[in-house]
Amino acid sequence: MVIAKRVPALIRSFRYQSFFIFLVTLSAGFTERQGDLYFVALLILVLKVFIIPVLLNLTAKRINVDEGLGLFVNSQLSLIVALILSYCSWVFSRSLGFGLYHKLLGQTVAFSVLFIGAFLMISRMKAFSQVAGLLVMENGIFLFALSVSGGMPFFVEIAIFLDVFVSVIIMGLFVYRINKLFTHIDVTKLSRLKG
Amino acid sequence: MVNFNLLFDPLSIFFLFVIFIISLPSAVYSLGYLKGEYSQGKVTLAWFLLSAFVLSMVLVVTVSNIFIFLVAWEIMSLVSYFLVVFDTEHEKSIQAGLIYIVMTHIGTAFLIAAFLVMYQYAHSFDFLAIKNACQTMPSQVKNIVFILLLIGFGTKAGIVPLHIWLPYAHPQAPSHISSIMSGVMIKTAIYGLIRFVISILGVNSSWWGILILVLAVISCLVGVIYALMDHDIKRLLAYHSVENIGIILLGVGLSMFFINKGMPYLAVFSLIAGLYHLVNHAVFKGLLFLCAGSVYKATGTRDIEKLGGLIKKMPQTAIYFLIGAMGISALPPLNGFVSEWLTLQAFFLGAFSAIGGSKLFLGVCAGMLALTGGLAAACFVKAFGITFLALPRSRHAEEAKEVSFSMKAGMFFLAVLTIIFGLAAVPIMGLLAKVAGASTGIDIGNMRFSLNNLIINPQVGKNIYLSTPLLALALVASAAAGFSVYLLFARLKPVSYKTWDCGYYKLEARNEYTATAFSKPFRIAFSFFLMPYRKTQKIRDSFYHVKSFAYETHTISVFKKYIYAPLVALVFKSASFMRRIQPGSIHLYLAYIFAALLFLIIFMQKF
């Protein structure tokens, strides 16, 4: 995901990530024998694997701009940073000390997804990557909840999904508007708005 | 737990009295003053702010809890800020308001610091609990609290060098508000000093009193010298507030000095002098501001160089102003004379009983006070003479008319009070003795300050007497005698001549003596402090004929140039430096959040 240089590649990698989370949720549903988790997994499949990426692709096509993401940090260096962040998240989750080994691994993955999401937001110029970064961070939070306590209460989960869905729509709209107004979606140039 | 009990001990009641005797005539005065000057909506707003202002001051002097005290203090500051910027269309008002609100908040910050230190020891916001806790407070902590309180209240009182806001804020407010601000609001700071330093904290070291005395003497002199140089009538009065706060603080500081030296009688006596001058200053400064407001309302200008001859157009205002001016210049038998006399006597009695260096110190302070009185008198000769006497210097002054009835009523009330507080000195001293005794915690049962109901006698056994009623009687009698001599021997029929004009043939307003000219000797005498700048420019046809002559002079405010300007520049410099961390880039902001998150997690890791 961090080596993606173009918008479609980023969306594709987000789709893969969401698919893996779907698998993780499904397996958690098997091991913990909870009906809710199956439903949540289904929601992930529908929303994050299909609808949201399609929506993002649509927006990208509609605004019809250059596909490059505009990297502050090039792909190779981004990969190294991602590795460092993963190590950091390993250290952090160990210090959190929830015990059990497989849970520790889950937390590490969750943390690193969270960090990488934030890193994406910081190190890419185009507004798309900020949207994608936020979605990735949301994935990370979901993973963390799953790994610590086997998922949040069902209704909370549903509400969060709704939130994410709506926010994607809103952000898509915003990106569209920004593009219309400024004829670009380069976030670095927004600093000109400052007084 | 915060309690909302109000406190009505003698000190609070005294300040309540001061607040109401000034606010009442000012409110009546504002009836006429606001009419025709502002729109209906603004008049309503002015009344609302006035009530809020008076109410907040009442709260400040009656609450018994430092927490609520701070809240009331802050309300008072904010409401008075809104009153300072009441004329929002003037650029100057906004600037004055800015200086005022910055200074007053710096003061409040110091107060909060002092109160927090007190709370640390008392674990309670209550006055009584804090008073008990202060008994066991270490003396270094007491010193720190004293300094914090002095800076905090000193900003509000306008002690030099914290007086910078006074000459900006007081003139810009509407006149009835100036009169309350200058007459009462700055006195709440004196209340704070007496309440928190003398009554609650307890005077600990002798340098406290000496420090206050030194600051007070400096305030007196600086205030009166700047007042002499200023020709805006309201700004001139504002500088006099600095001077008079100095005189009040002389009494308060002297009292602290004597408390520490273990001389209860003199401590009470000095505090009486200070409190007496406090109420006097409230009365005559309120009166003078109201008169200045009337002049402003009638002529539309506050520059006394453009006034003149108003005594014929506005005779009543002129008389009230004269009474106020005589009061503030400490002329017998009016009230300012009594309180300044008492302060001087306190210095003399102190110098008699003190030993060593403090004898000299008190003597020098007394000398400075005398100098201040003289300069104040000179200043009011200027203010009254240039404003009310001679010929009008501009069309504004020519077209002036006497003000409306409600405005005259407000001024009349205060003018009468000025005379009463002079004549009824003995009973007033008796009342003030109770206040002073209660706030210093000294038993005043066997102290006597007067011979009988007419004559003040500061110390039994010494031949020092003062009786204002008798003085007034003597003055009236000699005036009557003079007048009867005049009636007997002078020609009764007035004959009008032309003024002798040294052969100039035609004298007009342009030939008159100006305020600038009047203050020139003082400008030269105090040139080391005022640093006057003057520029003359002559354009001549020949050696004998000067075609035009331009003269320009102004003085430099030492405090503004050498203390405040560098300070403000420093603040702006550091602010523009800090601004760099906010470049407007979303990525950088996100990075800040991310970095903060990482930092916090690492921080948790380590500790």
Concatenated DSSP letters for A13-75? Answer: HHHHHHHHHHHHHHHHHHHHT-HHHHHHHHHHIIIIIIIHHHHHHHHHHHHT---B--BSS-H
User: Is B225 within the bounds of a domain?
Assistant: no
Query: Are B85 and B13 part of one and the same domain?
Result: yes
- Would you call A121 and B590 a contact, using CB atoms and an 8 Å cutoff? yes
Q: Do residues B289 and B331 both lie within one domain? A: yes
B592 and B543, same structural domain?
no
The partner residues of A186 in beta bridges, in order of sequence, read A126
pLDDT in tens, A161-182: 777 877 887 777 777 777 777 7
CA distance B426 to B432: 10
- As a whole number of angstroms, the distance between CA B465 and CA B476 comes to 20
| Tens digit of pLDDT at every position of chain A (195 positions) | 777 888 888 888 989 998 998 898 888 888 877 777 888 888 888 888 888 888 888 888 877 666 777 777 888 888 998 999 888 888 888 777 666 677 788 888 888 998 898 888 888 887 778 888 888 888 888 888 887 776 667 777 777 777 787 788 777 777 777 777 777 767 666 666 665
Say whether both B345 and B396 belong to one domain: yes
For residues B460 and B522, membership in a common domain is answered with no
Q: Check whether residue B194 and residue B274 sit in a common domain.
A: no
pLDDT tens sequence across B255-285: 999 998 888 888 999 999 999 999 999 999 9
Cis amide prior to B174 (ω within 30 degrees): no
The amino acid occupying position A132 is A
Q: Is residue B254 part of a domain?
A: no
Domain annotation covers residue B257 = no
Q: Is the pLDDT of residue B585 over 60?
A: yes
Considering the domain architecture, whether residues B309 and B161 belong to the same structural domain is answered as no
CA torsion B564-A195-B596-B570 (nearest 10°) is -10
* Residue B213 located in a structural domain: no
Residues of B with CB under 8 A from a CB of A: 582-587, 590-591, 593-594, 597-598, 601, 604-605
Is residue B234 included in any domain, yes or no?
no
Q: Counting one residue from A and one from B, how many pairs have CB atoms under 8 Å apart? A: 38
| Share in percent of chain B as helix, strand, coil (round to 5) | 75, 5, 20
Helix (H, G, I), strand (E, B) or coil at B334: coil
Interval B140-153 mean pLDDT: 93
Which tokens is B339 given?
A: 């309180």
Query: How close is the nearest chain B Cα to the Cα of A129, in Å?
Result: 11
HSE toward the beta carbon, residue A57, CA cutoff 13 A:
14
Q: To the nearest whole percent, how much of chain A has pLDDT over 90? A: 3
B207 found inside a domain: no
> Which chain A residues are closer than 8 Å to B591 by Cβ?
122
The number of distinct structural domains making up chain B is: 4
Q: Is residue B220 part of a domain?
A: no
Cis-peptide, bond into residue B583, ω within 30° of zero: no
Same domain membership, residue B427 and residue B327: yes
* A80 interfacial to chain B (CB closer than 8 Å): no
The reply to whether ipTM tops 0.95 is: no
B276 shares its domain with B190:
no
Q: Is residue B573 part of a domain?
A: yes
Q: Which residues of A touch B587 (CB under 8 A)?
A: 72, 121-123, 125, 187-188
B153/B117 same-domain check: yes
Q: What is the dihedral angle through the alpha carbons of B190, B195, B196, B202, rounded to the nearest 10 degrees?
A: 120
Residue position matching structure tokens 């500790």: B607
Full residue range of the structural domain in which residue B514 is found:
510-554
B190 and B266: one domain?
no
**Would you give the distance in Å from CA A54 to the centre of its chain?**
15
Same domain membership, residue B529 and residue B570: no
